[in-house]
Structure 1
């Protein structure tokens, strides 16, 4: 028997992928993902375990217990009854007997129908179904997928093929220009594809704090392999921290070289599973359809492992994918429903605007009255076109919507005022102490040789405390997409021998992104050193300043007792640390809050001079010895 992939075995045995992974964990079998392969011995062991569990379950069902005696007779075994009927046990049955029914209903609930259909069950059964745990009300939702990659590598062709084969013919026409998303129906359930944004639009949405896509598909042409926009797409997907699947397209071409693509992916830190990594790589042809079913299978498997859930009865929230102004209809906004359910007539709040839904259209172009999680809808009712990535919330009525908008306006103004007054703390600048810092960089240079040379130097600059993460390295001047990526990932853009355009500089200023250009390599390296130093925990040491002898104590009505002293060694500085010794005992440690020469306040007094030393302590006595020191940052190599 040849090796078999985990997900294929799960499908053959009729068990859940999570169940199979749990068995593998218990056996101590290592795997990368559900697409990892298992040998014949492991497969046989798994089959024996499942067979043993099945026998134990049969024996348990056959043995009567106290619960079976007390419960009324049923026309069929509980395990064979539909989930809703399992909850229809009369209320006289013990509470324990309801637990298995709850579990069965939770696991077997279909995503497309989270609420059981009404039946002829008595009123008691209706109450019991309503009292089930909230897991029943939060079913698995369809994954939302975005496709990115280099121009002409077949992103649109792949979407077109999926749309034509997985969506009814009457639904295909005009979907892209109207809704910007479509739903594909597969053997594993629904998959929602966003076909509007490229990777820059994808990051624009992410920059606004929204995460629309659950999975990113990176399309790479088998005859071209990795290209500049491929690198950008990967960087944007990694910045968004979403699962990533690589689709190697155009395998039908005679010059296609899938192995070359897999090898080149390793340069982007994407190691294919066949090479011992965890990146799923699927060869496909958007022209012939070869491998497309495998791609959809992997999407479903990834979604299953991500355990994507949503509550259709919860508070509504969604994200704007795109918006446009139609000359006849007005403002049309495509919204992806993420939680809850939205209805025609609801009041929605977007940013500092609100509107009432006059009409909704689904991805088929048909009018609908409501939409649940993972459903893209086109909404008519906003007065102003919202921006991509704007979060959408619902309000009970127009008055509540206006209150929400007014509150957001006040919050924005307060935040703007606070931003002007606010001084950054050490944690704000460097993050919590004691953890490895990560410096994100976007690198642009004039030639590939320059890029590789700089990357080589940066690799040597990393340490145990600071990691340099080059999110994107490319040839040519930085683009607005680079700025969006840097804004999302809080990265610095470094340019060598290339000059950013005025429009790119303007966008960088607007988004507070550091964009720096260098003509000399050493200046760029100095900037990297500065970034590293700014992300290291500072190391301080106490450095001795001087010593003074207290010769008299001066009583001051406002400043307390002042030590009239003579500097016998070194010097004293205002705000220095102070230690007072009386005999051999240290009686005080604090701060020099003030220094005086005669009646004048001074910053420093040198050896051989008399002065008045004001401590934040009033028990100083004649004969005390005061030592001054300061904390100095140690320069790190």
Structure 2
């Protein structure tokens, strides 16, 4: 039955039928579902004021607009559901142990260590590694693979524990964002002298969101000013009540530096696992699990550290990890030794993949190389479509007014990072008080202290947020990632400027402005004293180029220490030069500014006029 024409185009009438489409689908995909001609859907979109090609990946909102116009109900299939359907088409069940109860065997708990920076997470992991590595392996660790297994004695029985050594709760959350549950128990490290800090709360919230039991390690009990009782009191406010106070969270006072009570902590992990978790898996089936980290190795190609969750992974198996696949050429354990097989809860480094998978990608073993290739290719195509669709809906402060008028956005999502919690809270509070009418809401998705990280850009990418950096800059690869994903990152050093710009954007009043363009960054390797010129920075240029007479700022540990500096002098060996390019060393004179230290970063930039679109 034909519908009344939409702008002269006759189309099937949906009558409220549900159409299921994956995220990033095209008009052609839609047309196939409703038995229509893709060209006619392109015409409908033109009549609705949107220019879209038949094969282009489009956003969820565009698909919803089209479905509504034709009286269909659109259901967007989640990536997890889509992946499950993909595997079912190959008769593969993921996430399920095969066989009955009799096939299940006890497995070690998988633990992630989380907490505030400088509270001793890395030192704790080192202490555990040194004192409790499986018998005969002490000091034999030759290679870091991002996870390792230790043994501890509990009630006369030797029990194994697997530790995932990730860079903190960011990686933990990146895995969860992909629908992967890798951790059974979280150890929350809190320094006894500092107590609960902003990142402690952040880590705690991440662990709670993942619904994993928490064991609290109160570290640095040997330091002056340590007060473990205060930590217990502070964490009670966040719902973690110590056993001795009538709660069900185990607190263990430790010193990672001295190696004190490490065994007690490991015992607490085992007891918590036994009390609140049923950790069993079938070791007889084809292996399934999760990738913890992966990278490109110069000599060995794509390598991935995987955690086996069920089944047994063997050398020679054909595996799919996210959109990578391959035959397992070799497996290495955390000591760099070759192993032939890995049982549930065992982490191993796998060689033989076609490309580098992502942290948190699921892996599974399949019977044939051809099946592995087909699954990997379909996953890669899906990821590509989602990325293209995402690019179409990203907006910035400049086009926010148009997005509001077009009804593409009803709220402005913000991520605020700053140099101190006080300034972050002040900025958040001021922004939330802005009176911008009923058309739009301001929502702060995340706020934190420190540099803008890849984790922040990840969150902004998934939720169409604008990132605000107050007296901080992007760290590591976050700037490139933001550019690649089209995330709008704004830097401010004056609170009022940030408030005024966002208010103006919401009211559609933004004027042409000058934008800051980063030219290059240089890391200070040495500081030379000169009686005539003051302190000279001996630097290695890390990115771009550093030019004489340009503006600069000085960063220390990701925080802005000084603004509005000038590159007054540049030298290569004994020669004055006008610029130093990436990868070269040289000397920088910042004029009268002398407070420079080794490891500081000099970031140079210039202001360019930018008409607002």
Using the size of structure 1 for normalisation, the TM-score is: 0.50
1:252 aligns with 2:222: yes
Is 1:199–2:172 an aligned residue pair?
Answer: no
Q: Does the CA-based 8 Å contact 2:113-2:168 persist in structure 1?
A: yes
> Within 2, Cα distance between the matches of 1:474 and 1:179?
29
2 CA distance for matches of 1:180 and 1:496? Answer: 30
Residue 316 of structure 2 corresponds to: 345
Give a deviation string over 1:546-596, Cα, whole Å, max 9, x none: xxxxxxxxxxxxxxxxxxxxxxxxxxxxxxxxxxxxxxxxxxxxxxxxxxx
Per-residue deviation at 1:168?
3.9
Asked whether the equivalents of residues 146 and 215 of structure 1 are also in contact (C-alpha less than 8 Å), the reply is yes
Alignment-derived partner of residue 288 in structure 2: 317
Pairwise CA distance, 1:442: 5.0
**What does 1:107-118 correspond to in 2, within 5 Å?**
none
Contact 2:147 2:347 (8 Å CA) reproduced: yes
> Residue 186 of structure 1 is aligned with which of 144, 152, 160?
152
How far is the alpha carbon of 1:445 from its aligned partner?
A: 4.5
- The counterpart of 1:209, out of the listed 149, 158, 179, is 179
1:508 and 1:515 in contact (8 A); partners too: yes
Q: CA deviation at 1:450?
A: 4.0
Match of 1:177 among 143, 149, 164: 143
Cα pair distance change 1:510/1:143, threshold 3 Å: farther
| CA–CA distance in structure 1, aligned partners of residues 296 and 451 of structure 2 | 33
Whether contact under 8 Å (2:317, 2:327) holds in the other structure is: yes
CA, structure 1 residues 248+480, in 2 after alignment: closer, same or farther (shift >3 Å)? same
CA 1:284–1:511: 2 relative to 1, 3 Å = farther
Q: Tell me the residue number matched to 1:401.
A: 372
Separation in structure 1 between the aligned mates of residue 455 and residue 471 of structure 2, nearest angstrom: 16
* Alignment-derived partner of residue 444 in structure 1: 417
Cα pair 1:440 1:492 within 8 Å, conserved: yes
Q: Which residue of 1 aligns with 2:45?
A: none
* Residue matched to 1:61: none
Give 1:347 shift. Answer: 0.9
Report matched runs for 1:143-542 at 5 Å. Answer: 143-168=109-134, 170-173=136-139, 175=141, 177-188=143-154, 189-265=159-235, 270-272=240-242, 279-304=249-274, 305-412=276-383, 442-445=415-418, 447-452=420-425, 473-475=447-449, 478-484=452-458, 495=468, 497-498=470-471, 501=474, 504=478, 507-508=481-482
| Partners of 2:216 and 2:444 in 1: CA distance | 20
- Tell me by how many angstroms 1:143 deviates: 1.0
CA contact (8 A) 2:427 2:495 kept: no
Alpha carbons of structure 1 residues 133 and 520: separation in structure 2 relative to 1, 3 Å: closer
SS at match of 2:221: coil
Q: Verify the 8 A CA contact 2:193 2:226 in the aligned structure 1.
A: yes
Distance 2:413 2:198 in 1: 19
Question: Structure 1's 509 and 317: CA in aligned 2 closer, same or farther, altered over 3 A?
Answer: farther
Alignment of 1:25-40 (within 5 A): none
Contact 2:391–2:486 (8 Å) recurs in 1: no
Q: Is the 8 A contact 1:446 1:475 kept in 2?
A: yes
Q: Where do 5+ consecutive residues of structure 2 fail to align?
A: 1-97, 394-410, 435-441, 507-613
Query: After the TM superposition, which of the residue ranges 362-371 and 495-504 deviates more from structure 2?
Result: 495-504
Residue by residue, what CA displacement relative to the aligned partner does 1:34-86 show, whole Å, maximum 9, x if unpaired? xxxxxxxxxxxxxxxxxxxxxxxxxxxxxxxxxxxxxxxxxxxxxxxxxxxxx
Q: How far apart in 2 are the matches of 1:496 and 1:360?
A: 42
For 1:29-108, list aligned pairs within 5 A: none
- State the shift of 1:487 in Å: 6.0
Is the 2:286–2:313 Cα contact (8 Å) retained in structure 1? no
The number of equivalent residue pairs is 383
Render the CA deviation track for 1:322-347: whole Å, top value 9, x for unaligned.
Answer: 23444544443221111222111111
In 2 relative to 1, CA 133–311 (structure 1 residues): closer, same or farther, beyond 3 Å?
Answer: closer
**Distance verdict in 2 for CA 1:232–1:253, change over 3 Å:** same
- Is the alpha carbon distance of 1:252 and 1:499 closer, same or farther for their aligned partners in structure 2, counting shifts above 3 Å? closer
Q: CA deviation at 1:180?
A: 2.5
Instruction: Give the Å deviation of 1:145.
Output: 0.7
Cα offset, 1:139, TM superposition: 2.6
Contact 1:145 1:192 in 2 (8 A): yes
Shift of the 312–227 alpha-carbon distance from structure 1 to 2, 3 Å rule, reads: same
Residues 344 and 358 in structure 1, CA contact (< 8 A), matched pair in contact too = yes
Per-residue CA deviation, residues 250-280 of structure 1 (Å, 9 max, x unaligned), is 2123431112323443565655455666544
What's the Cα RMSD here? Answer: 4.5
Q: How far is the alpha carbon of 1:227 from its aligned partner?
A: 3.8
Measure, in 1, the Cα distance between the counterparts of 2:201 and 2:373.
44
- For residue 379 of structure 2, give the secondary structure of its aligned residue in structure 1: helix
Whole-angstrom CA distance in 2 between matches of 1:491 and 1:412 = 17
SS in 1 for 2:320: strand
**CA–CA distance in structure 1, aligned partners of residues 245 and 466 of structure 2:** 32
Structure number with the higher helix fraction is: 1
Query: Where does 1:119-138 land on structure 2 (aligned, <5 Å)?
Result: 134-138=100-104
Q: Specify the SS of the correspondent of 1:234.
A: helix
2:134/2:150 contact within 8 Å kept? no
What is the Cα deviation at residue 389 of structure 1?
2.2
Change (3 A) 1:271 1:483: farther
The DSSP-based 3-state class of the residue aligned with 1:374 is: coil
1: CA distance, partners of 2:263 / 2:448: 34
TM-score, normalised by the number of residues in structure 2: 0.52
